[in-house]
Structure 1
Amino acid sequence: MQRIFSGIQPTGIPQLGNYLGAIRNWVALQQDHECIFCLVDLHAITVWQDPEALRQQTLAQTAVLLAAGIDPKAHILFNQSAVSAHARLGWIFNCVSRLGWLNRMTQFKDKAGKDRENHSAGLYIYPNLMAADILAYKATRVPVGDDQRQHLELANDIAQKFNHDYGVDFFPAIEALIPAGAARVMSLRDGTKKMSKSDPSAQSRIEMTDDADAIALKIRRAKTDPEPLPTDPADLQSRPEARNLVEIYAVLSGMTVADVLARHGGTGFGPFKAALTDVLVAAVTPIGAETRRLLDAPEHLQAVLREGAARANAIAEPIVSEVERLVGFLK
């Protein structure tokens, strides 16, 4: 059974894009993989976080994952900072990775923009820590979206260079895993931008803790265009907001875009938004209700993370200790 590692930042309230793009697929991957799921709080502080908010959001993210179907007994769920192997291997990889490699990382350029000199060094070397997250467990498969594919290629470059530099066949190759049914969900206010939990407007996203009334209001207010829904999927390409709503409906209902348009094409957005609201309420509100129940027992959530960290450490510690021996550290 292959080992999967995947992480999610515990910042903000998880939204529909996180669920359809990652969390739902994590749940499915549990069936035939050994899964290690991590709340990457070390990555989170590459930009400033309010300390108490970060603690609370880590618990909230844990609650959402459990409510969505992550099984912490059969698999491992923990917060990154609780296992020191991540930071230790991350520093070694800082010394293996090359500046030229990091300079090619487009995600840093996108996040930093023209103000790159004022961003943290941690944001710049973020991909090296991501490589350490994966390779501390010798994971061979990582579910990623397009925005992380370049980072995974860098992780393989680091693993190969380490193996070459120290004359060992220690780290395995990592396979990018694009799960079937993964979805790219866009903002409800701008169909050209990804749905994001950091967007200043809560109206741009469906949060996994939203109740039925909140979902209905956000969908009613979701940006559309004046034309009715088309019957041909090709006609959606120039209509980003319409395409986004149709694709959300399709992925949640298990239908194709063509099937959705066969049912709703030619009608206005009013009836379609009502139908989409019903689909969203059925998918999201049970997770939200269970999340709220779990958040009423924070000591249980903390116990889940502590147990997960102990099990993660049992895997990572011997691997990273051997890396430290290979590079010449006195043990």
Structure 2
Amino acid sequence: MPSFQPLVFSGVQPTGNLHLGNYLGAIRRFVALQDSHDCIYCVVDLHSITAQLVHDDLAGQTRAITAAFLAAGIDPEKHIVFNQSRVMQHAELAWIFNCVARIGWMNRMTQFKDKAGKDRENASLGLLAYPSLMAADILVYRATHVPVGEDQKQHLELTRDIATKFNNDFSDRIGQLGAGVDMTVGDERVNGFFPLTEPLIEGTATRVMSLRDGMKKMSKSDPSDLSRINLTDDADTIAKKIKKAKTDPEPLPSELEGLEARPEADNLVGIYAGLSDRSRESVIAEFGGQQFSVFKPALAELAVEKLAPIASEMRRIMADPAYVDAVLRNGGERAAVRAEATMKTVREIIGFVGD
């Protein structure tokens, strides 16, 4: 019995400027995974209209995310980079998954509650159902692994629930068509069409917090630009933002436990660890007992060293939109071939009549 081929899928929404949190929590790991996995990276422009239908420049934002992928080191020849709306099979499978998923599952999604706020009745249907689209993004390629932050774990669990229900509901048809793949679920060997995708949560800074409030996640939507380091910031701006980052008056602790009640200090230590590929313990061992007047300049120098070249390369790539569009077009064509192979079998499994 064949097994699922290891494949990584992930996507980034084209909404607002990419920032340090996106880089450390996602894009840098996307780059590293290229060395060990077959990878598909997507600019998820269909997701961007679930909470806000009308955008000032969705095309420009899509190109900017693509430029960030390329500037950070993702190779669009060896792997696939494309924008989601080019591949119609994402939406087709999302509709099928809307019929697989249960309303109760969607109502439990924490991010829907957060984004819809108190006026849930006025939220778009797309915002409620977008975890089904996320599941389709992953499973239309039968991806085995997804690099995710802690805040996306619930959505990946839903993806696994949808895959499990589809596999169970159509188990006889999958067997008749010989479309199943042997896999382990818990202690049991089962046969299914879709894999139970595994999360890849790793690194020292998978959740980067605001530079102005260590209790809030770094966000594109924060009204204060000082709360984040944008990937397009130049060296002077990066250094300025770190200098102005909120801290407390105490020196850095000599033990990691000393960061537990100090969210801003913990965040800056985590950023240093993430940028330098070191553990928090290693950073504390070097800087423990020192004032932020010593630590912040060291962090600023490191951040400029790592991020300024990416910003410069992003600006160069964005100055050539025809090249960016060619990357997306090529990636979309290659992605569509894989997606259609999946959907051809899904249509057979369900019983849709086609050519």
The 2-side partners of 1:289 and 1:105 are apart by 38
> Does 2:124 correspond to 1:92?
no
DSSP 3-state at the match of 1:37:
strand
Corresponding residue number in structure 1 for 2:14: 10
The 1:233–1:181 alpha-carbon spacing in structure 2 relative to 1, beyond 3 Å, is closer
Q: What is the DSSP-based 3-state SS (H/G/I as helix, E as strand, rest coil) of the residue aligned with 2:117?
A: helix
The answer to whether structure 1 residue 28 and structure 2 residue 32 are counterparts is yes
Q: CA contact under 8 A between 2:150 and 2:206: conserved in structure 1? A: no
Cα distance in 2, alignment partners of residues 184 and 283 from structure 1: 18
Indicate if the aligned counterparts of 2:13 and 2:45 stay in contact, CA closer than 8 A.
yes
The aligned runs of 1:260-271 (5 Å cut-off) are 260-271=283-294
Out of 245-254 and 57-66, give the one that drifted further. 245-254
Tell me whether 258-267 or 60-69 shows the greater mean CA deviation: 258-267
What amino acid does structure 2 have at the position aligned with 1:56? G
In structure 2, stretches of 5+ residues that fail to align are 175-191
SS at 1:65 equivalent: helix
Q: Quickly say closer, same or farther: Cα 1:63–1:23, change in 2 above 3 A.
A: same
Which amino acid is the alignment partner of residue 243 of structure 2?
A: R
Residues 1:229 and 1:43: Cα distance change in structure 2 (over 3 Å):
same
The aligned counterpart of 1:318 is 341
- Equivalent position to 1:278, from 291, 301, 313: 301
Matched, 1:42 2:65: no
The AA in structure 2 aligned to 1:262 is A
Root mean square deviation, CA, Å: 1.3
Name the aligned partner's letter for residue 213 of structure 1: D
Contact kept in structure 1, 2:204 and 2:279, CA below 8 Å: no
Q: Is 1:66 aligned to 2:70, yes or no?
A: yes
1:77 matches 2:100: no
1:119 is the counterpart of 2:123: yes
Which amino acid is 2:24 matched to? L
Segment of structure 1 superposing worse, 114-123 or 89-98 = 114-123
Rounded to whole Å, the distance in 2 between the matches of 1:190 and 1:105 is 25
Q: Whose helix proportion is higher, 1 or 2?
A: 1
> Which residue does the alignment assign to 1:328?
351
Aligned equivalents of 1:263, 1:182: Cα separation in 2: 18
Match of 2:256 among 227, 233, 236: 233
Deviates further, 109-118 or 69-78: 109-118
Q: CA deviation at 1:308?
A: 0.1
Q: Distance in 1 between matches of 2:138 and 2:193?
A: 13
Q: Does 1:248 align with 2:252?
A: no
Q: Distance in 1 between matches of 2:296 and 2:341?
A: 53
Residue by residue, what CA displacement relative to the aligned partner does 1:144-191 show, whole Å, maximum 9, x if unpaired?
121111111111111121122223232122112223445211000000
Q: Secondary structure at the match of 1:87?
A: helix
- Give the Cα–Cα distance (whole angstroms) in 1 for the partners of residues 79 and 144 of structure 2: 16
State the Cα deviation string for residues 183-203 of structure 1 (Å, max 9, x = none).
211000000111111211111
Whether 1:214 and 2:237 are equivalent positions in the alignment is: yes
Give the distance between the partners of 1:70 and 1:84, measured in 2 at CA. 24
Q: Is contact 1:112-1:119 (8 Å) kept?
A: yes
| 1:50 Cα deviation after fit | 4.0
| Alpha-carbon distance in structure 2 between the residues aligned to 1:71 and 1:31 | 10
Aligned-pair CA distance for 1:232 = 1.8
CA deviations on 1:37-87 (whole Å, 9 max, x unpaired) are: 010011110011544411101001100110000000000000000000000
- Normalized against structure 2, the TM-score is what? 0.90
SS of structure 1 residue aligned to 2:57: helix
Question: Which amino acid in structure 1 is aligned with residue 57 of structure 2?
Answer: A
Judging changes above 3 Å, is the alpha-carbon distance between structure 1 residues 306 and 247 closer, same or farther for their aligned structure 2 residues? same
Gaps of 5+ in 1: none
| Aligned sequence identity (%) | 60
In the alignment, is the contact (CA less than 8 A) between 1:225 and 1:242 conserved in 2?
yes
Q: Which residue of 1 aligns with 2:221?
A: 198
Note if contact 1:62-1:301 (Cα within 8 Å) is conserved in structure 2: yes
What secondary structure, in the 3-state scheme, does the structure 1 residue paired with 2:42 have? strand
CA drift of 1:243 comes to 0.9
CA-to-aligned-CA distance 1:290-327 (integer Å, 9 cap, x gap): 00000110000000000000000000012112212322
Change in CA separation of 1:114 and 1:325 when aligned onto 2, cut-off 3 Å = same
**SS of 1:114's equivalent?**
coil
